[in-house]
Amino acid sequence: MDNEKTIEVYTDGACPNNGQEGATGGLGIHLWIPAKESGRTLGLAYDEFMRERYGEPTNQKCELLAALYTVAGACINHRDGAKKDQLYDEDGTLNMRFLIYSDSKYVVDGINTWLPNWKRNGWKNSKKKLISNLQMWKDLDAVLSFGHLRGVFSFYHVAGHSGNPGNDAADEAARKASDFARQEQGEDESHSDNLNAHFVAGNLMIERQGASDWEKYVTTLEELGA
């Protein structure tokens, strides 16, 4: 693929009060385009929309949801036609790849190794019990199974807090998004169509999504059979 474009994506999740009542969480996503030597970082607060579908935040949920949102975002763009031509040439040749890095072995091993077995076994683990975070894994399987995106995503483990700039950026975004969620805790998180965004220095933006974005996300998952 001479004209292949590669986008590196570093994902992370944070839930500093994991397991406690009133826990808050955040997702961190850092996109880096090597050919342009440029990138941007997004922090997304774990909000009421996410709670309704996935339950209260945990470290694992935030880690997994950051990866899921990355794949789902590409899926939504492709289905909407927004960036369709960037993924494949007219003859169907793949010209773009997403290399997704996470410091969570739960996420990377789950996607690369466990997911096919879980699905084959009725979403049960080796102990014959339903897996944790079942809805998230079903949603992730749905977007990864979308035929037009086969081969686009590869998942790799990266050591956390090791000085990797991409991982550090995603970690910072996740932590600040969790702080943002904590600041909003107790306030009326009305399901408006507006983004409650807080801009931080540099290329880092922290936000809480709007109702229309969440509706598009859920509709896409349902249409793909999640």
Segments making up each domain of the chain, as ranges: 5-223
Q: Write down the CATH number for the domain with range 5-223.
A: 3.30.420.10
85 contacts: CB under 8 Å, gap ≥ 6: none
- Within 13 Å and on the Cβ side, how many CA atoms surround 110? 26
15 contacts: CB under 8 Å, gap ≥ 6: 23, 24, 25, 26, 46, 57, 58, 59, 61, 62, 178
Farthest-apart Cα atoms in the chain, separation: 53
137 contacts: CB under 8 Å, gap ≥ 6: 64, 110, 115, 118, 123, 131
Strand ranges across the sheet with 153-157: 153-157, 96-102, 5-14, 26-33, 38-45, 204-208, 196-199
Tell me if 25 sits within 8 A of 63, measured CB to CB.
Answer: no
Give me the pLDDT at residue 55, please.
95
Tell me if 11 sits within 8 A of 66, measured CB to CB.
Answer: yes
Pairing verdict, β 204-208 and 196-199: antiparallel
Give me the pLDDT at residue 93, please.
66
Length reported for the chain? 226
- 48-78 pLDDT tens trace: 999 999 999 999 999 999 999 999 988 887 7
Tell me if 54 sits within 8 A of 215, measured CB to CB.
Answer: no
Of 27-41, 91-105, 127-141, 175-189, the poorest mean pLDDT is in 175-189
Give the mean pLDDT of the chain.
84
- 3-27 pLDDT tens trace: 458 899 999 999 998 988 889 999 9
pTM given for the model: 0.87
Helices (H), the chain: 48-54, 59-80, 84-87, 105-109, 115-120, 134-144, 165-184, 211-223
- 148-188 pLDDT tens trace: 677 789 999 999 888 899 999 999 999 999 988 888 765 54
Give me the pLDDT at residue 38, please.
85
The closest alpha carbon to 114, from 136, 131, 139, belongs to 131
